[in-house]
Structure 1
Amino acid sequence: MTCAGEAQSAPRCPSTVTAGEQRAMLLTDDGVSVEARYEPSPRVGTEPSDHLALVVGHGFSGALERPALRRVALAFHQRTAVITFSFRGHGRSGGRSTVGDREVLDLAAAVRWARRLGHRRVATVGFSMGGSVVIRQAALYRKAEEPAGSPDGAAPDAVVAVSSPARWYYRGTAPMRRLHWAITRPTGRLVSRYGLRTRIDPRGWAVDPLSPVAAAPLIAPTPLLIVHGDRDPYFPLDHPRMLASAADPAASELWIEPGYGHAETAASPDLLTRIADWAAAHA
């Protein structure tokens, strides 16, 4: 077994943890090591090719072993195989966070790993920052542009964006104003590093990356599900509605969830089950 984008010098890639479960340090196209974990389908005795793999991208300040992401992974694993990983600058992954820009390379490496593990169907599921990443990654890595039957392609077969922003630089809520302080100020980055265990690239963006709302119409015909809570304290409902309006209506759905807050921390078991079932039906 090899890791996506594996360099010959990469020594830790991958190792078996338990029967079927694997951990890996994936190497991205720009040379960043990304910590990842694979949990195979609970259906014993079947091949990976028979099952969907859900590749999960966490929100800002999340990580592979954080309780909220583990809870998501356990819920999804009741249905199918799951890959979780820490974005750059988070957890034991290398590099520094670019807050949604170069994280598409981290996600691409994880999708390629799912393909190399034998999964013919791969869906990406992202929360908050991870939601913006799965939208952008699907737009930048399109199946139509990959060779037919590519064994290690990075294009997903379905995309689920949960609690995603639609546009950059949003400061309309108190949590987002605090987040921008953490990202843009030296003191904020210090607090983020030691308080949130998240290392942020101090250089910022030289050029604004493709925004989620600009990326949404580029995803079709790949199915896209946009999920958002009507009590999200970070991004109000104009964000998911902007994404849904920009996406191809023939290939997208919008779920506005009553009472739901923000991202993986607030996601109920029922919502996670419905997301996994939607991905299985559409990937």
Structure 2
Amino acid sequence: MSFQDKVVIVTGASSGIGAAIGIKFAEEGAKVALVGRNQEKLNNVAKKCGNPLIIAADVSKDEDAKRIIDETVKRFGKIDILVNNAGIGGNTNIQEEGVIEVFDKVMATNLRSVVVLTHLAAPHLVKTRGNIVNISSVASVRVIPGAFGYSASKAGLDHFTRAVALELAPLGVRVNVINPGPVRTDFIGNMGATKDIEDATFTRMQELTALNRVSDSDEIADLVLFIASDKAQAITGSSFVSDNGMILKC
């Protein structure tokens, strides 16, 4: 699949799934805007992406979201593909003190930021008849204990995807969502878990899958590229589960 001269924004691109997505788009000829909060990690990913635009930003801040769109258009002149990948987790138990603060942060990053970026990018995507790929989770259909905020944010993201897909379809813009199961990234570590807890968590996740495996980031990136390509020109408002059969077994 060639994305020669296509302009792609990837949020949460400093590591994990987002980094893999940015690298694969660049390998296929795309002009990539890498967005993340960690400048050092973004710089490391950029080394594998040719000459990307690096944007250190927090997608949950409206002024940063606007800057992401403005800087991309200023540098490349257009936007063809928006990949909303940035996401955070957080323990949310309804009876715990401080749960609302955590919930608000999770929703701001995982759902509200996607709405804001989609709103800002839509006029540009209409011009290019581009498309959007949102990265959700199997948590949108199978609740993770102690993480109602994360589960709710991803369920909302799935339904937002369908609603916007319907709205933008007459304008030639496709919108789809991917629901990964367990993927070995630094996501758990970023929540403050020790290496031992992280390893134990991935082992437990593996046991919960029908295929008895945990994916790597490249598998999700490959799916993103297919959905964003002309090979998927008839697909919009769809959810793609890539979970090694976790939903089946759980």
State the TM-score, normalized to the length of structure 1. 0.39
State the TM-score, normalized to the length of structure 2. 0.44
Q: Tell me which protein shows more strand as a share of its residues.
A: 1
